[in-house]
Structure 1
Amino acid sequence: PFWTSSQVIEGKGRYTLPTETKYNGTMKDGMFHGKGTLYFPNRSKYEGIWDCGISKEGKYTFADGLEFKDKKWHYCDGYDRRFYTEICSGLKPAGISQLTNLDPPRTIPQGCYDCGDGFYNTNTRVVIDYKLRFLRNADDDEHEWIIRTCRKGWDEITGFKPKQ
């Protein structure tokens, strides 16, 4: 059943609070009682066992699927600051080994830079997309930004150069 505020709330059903939080479970005398789940507007949820409106045990799950643990919490510690969805999708932690989010990394033509939407050639000052089609001519500001921040066609950090 669906309860409304004018009814006595008793038994199993669904109820929407004024905050748009939804409860699906059992109630007794107008209070959460027994098994029930709170679904929050941000897409997180709390599944619990309730006794006269008080949660006796339960589990909170964030919108991205991460389950909260108050003990042995191994998420977002000092060594690995990735979001849970980044961990699930294979994004590597930051560091010298993390030159790109792609695995394997995209092959960049030698002497060019990967500028996010294509390759930039410093000699021609042209950006082409990843299918090698013209995108734009880079102005001075974009040229400086690409050289300063983007990954080059060979790994300058480790000195690795592909065979020519």
Structure 2
Amino acid sequence: MSQWSGSQYKGPTEKGWYQDQGRFTFPNGVVYEGNFDKGEFHGEGTLIYPNGGRYVAKWDRGKLLEGKYFFYDNLEFGAKAEDESTQANWDYCTIKDRRFYTEKLKGLRPDGLTLITNDIRGPKDIPEGTYDIGDGYYDPTKRAIFEYDGQFKREVESAQEQQWITEKSRYNPKVFEDDSFLDGNGDKIIKEMIKLNQNPDLKAARESGKAK
């Protein structure tokens, strides 16, 4: 299967199955390191993502039991598979404590050097009218996420994800010749494109290849 799919496995096998401690690399670059039982994630194992994040979890024959996600800078976010209470109660960058993780570790900067992202190097450059999502940017007019260098990553099909991005992420406003600007809330074109992209008839037409 690995030969056909582009994935790779390093570790012991038993009767053709991945067994015990091994390392499995998916075609998209995500790596699983941990225990296998008859080819399935079983016991303790970690998913390691290309952006530096990792998901440390416990598995039962391929089913997630519980786990914690660590961002590239070790900021922890965790929740059980069937309990979203941790997500709902996550208090990072909320009104009661607006500090970035870097500021929690190293303290606040003086006036004039205040961070507007968690990256001490400052925010990434993104095109006007797009949203910074941390490992790329979201273009609402194309309903897609791109790498910072402009390379396409994936489409955003979920209306819930689109809403979360536009409500929570940094927006690079459109600037006009008279130096006025338009933020995400007032951008009528973006609003119309989001509304259009959420139209189920358009989605069905795209999937059938009939959309123009």
Taking structure 1 as the reference length, the TM-score comes to 0.51
Among all aligned residue pairs of Structure 1 and Structure 2, give the percentage whose two residues are the same amino acid.
42
The match for 2:69 is 60
Q: Highest relative contact order (Cα 8 Å, sep 6+), 1 or 2? A: 1
Which of 91, 112, 115 does residue 74 from structure 1 map onto?
Answer: 91
For the 8 Å contact 1:33–1:50, the answer to whether it is kept is yes
Q: 1:76·1:82 contact (CA, 8 Å) conserved in 2?
A: yes
Who is 1:99 aligned against? 111
Distance in 1, Cα, partners of 2:108 & 2:113 = 6
Structure number with greater Rg is 1
SS in 1 for 2:104: helix
Whether 1:31 and 2:40 are equivalent positions in the alignment is yes
Give the Å deviation of 1:27.
Answer: 0.6
Q: Which of 4, 7, 16 is the matching residue for 2:25?
A: 16
Contact map agreement 1:46 1:60 (CA 8 A) in 2:
yes
Structure 1: distance between partners of 2:52 and 2:103? 18
* CA distance, structure 1, for counterparts of residue 100 and residue 73 of structure 2: 9
RMSD: 2.5
Across the two proteins, how many residue pairs are aligned to each other?
95
Query: Is 1:91–1:101's contact at 8 Å kept on the other side of the alignment?
Result: no
Distance 1:46 1:25 in 2: 11
Runs of 4+ with deviation above 2 angstroms: 71-74, 79-83
Where do 5+ consecutive residues of structure 2 fail to align? 1-8, 79-85, 115-212
Whole-Å Cα distance in 1 between the matches of residues 19 and 108 of structure 2? Answer: 47
What's the counterpart of residue 86 of structure 1? 103
Deviations 1:8-28 (A, max 9, x none): 211111111111111111111
